Amino acid sequence: MQTSSKLALRQTLLDHIAQGNLIPGASLPSERSLALRFQMSRNAVREVMQGLQQEGWIEVRQGGRSRCVNRLQSYMEHGQSIETSLSHQLDVLEARAFLEGETAYFCALRASDQELDALAQEYRAMLQRRKGQSTLLKAKADLTFHMMIAESSHHLLLISYSQLFYERYFNAIHEVLSTTLKRYGRYPDGISQQHEKIHQAIQARRPDQARLEAKEHILYTRRLLEAT
């Protein structure tokens, strides 16, 4: 009976990870609370956690919370240099186009109602904030919006990839935005409209439409940069 509890706990946690409820970096419930919820001793919980840790799913530190791990990390450990060349930025945007399309697709498909509400709220806040702020903050707000979409996709691979992508290529993305803003003085109408279209498609739960809009949005940005 207790052995099945251990398996149940393990499976539950793995499911949460696989389904994107426990995204990389998110903290797991404490051992004590899990023991309580699953009606098992903390001892048994620890053994499950240790197993998951050993398999590279979670990260455990004394005192701190246990965290879900981004398993793609090791695949990105090559080449620390973040290129700022034009060709590299174009490459980044090409990859991002695919990524954004898929995350938008799965977000529209899988996001919970609460997540959609939160997304709408963040979107409105982004519109407000956009009026008078530094380029850096605008870029951050932009990324936050896109990251929320990614996190609501409940797609482990996409979430992991997005995290690393934004972490690693933030400078490149910021550069693009900076260049674009410098040229137009403000967000081009195209970009604002595209954000709006993406958001509407997601809220309407139209996955294919969301994918199309998101992909086009990035490719539009790419064309702007390319025209330099």
Q: Using CB under 7 A, list all residues that contact DNA.
A: 2-3, 5-6, 28, 30-33, 35, 39-44, 46-47, 49, 60-66
Handedness of CA 66, 67, 72, 78 (dihedral sign): negative
The residue (of 54 and 87) whose beta carbon lies closer to its own copies is 54
Question: Whole-angstrom Cα distance, residue 95 to residue 223?
Answer: 14
The residue (of 33 and 112) whose beta carbon lies closer to DNA is 33
Residue choice 5, 16, 21, 51 for contact with its own copies (CB under 8 A): 51
**SS3 (DSSP) at 57:** coil
Q: Say if residues 152 and 111 touch (Cβ distance below 8 Å).
A: yes
Q: Which stretch binds its own copies (CB under 8 A): 15-23, 39-47, 143-151, 185-193?
A: 39-47
Q: Say if residues 104 and 201 touch (Cβ distance below 8 Å).
A: yes
Q: What does 54 interact with, of DNA, its own copies, none (CB < 5 to 8 A by kind)?
A: its own copies
The residue (of 27 and 112) whose beta carbon lies closer to DNA is 27
Q: What does 124 interact with, of its own copies, DNA, none (CB < 5 to 8 A by kind)?
A: none
Residue choice 4, 39, 43, 114 for contact with its own copies (CB under 8 A): 43
Instruction: Examine residue 54 and tell whether it contacts its own copies (CB under 8 A).
Output: yes
Alpha helices in the chain (DSSP H): 2-18, 31-37, 42-54, 86-110, 113-129, 135-151, 156-184, 189-203, 207-226
Q: Which stretch binds its own copies (CB under 8 A): 40-48, 92-100, 136-144, 178-186?
A: 40-48
Q: Which of 70, 75, 93 is nearest to 163 (CA)?
A: 70
Q: Which of 106, 129, 93, 116 is nearest to 210 (CA)?
A: 106
Radius of gyration of the chain (CA): 20
Instruction: Examine residue 47 and tell whether it contacts its own copies (CB under 8 A).
Output: yes
Question: How many chain residues touch its own copies (CB under 8 A)?
Answer: 6
- Judged by the rule CB under 8 A, the positions of this chain that interact with its own copies are 43, 46-47, 50-51, 54
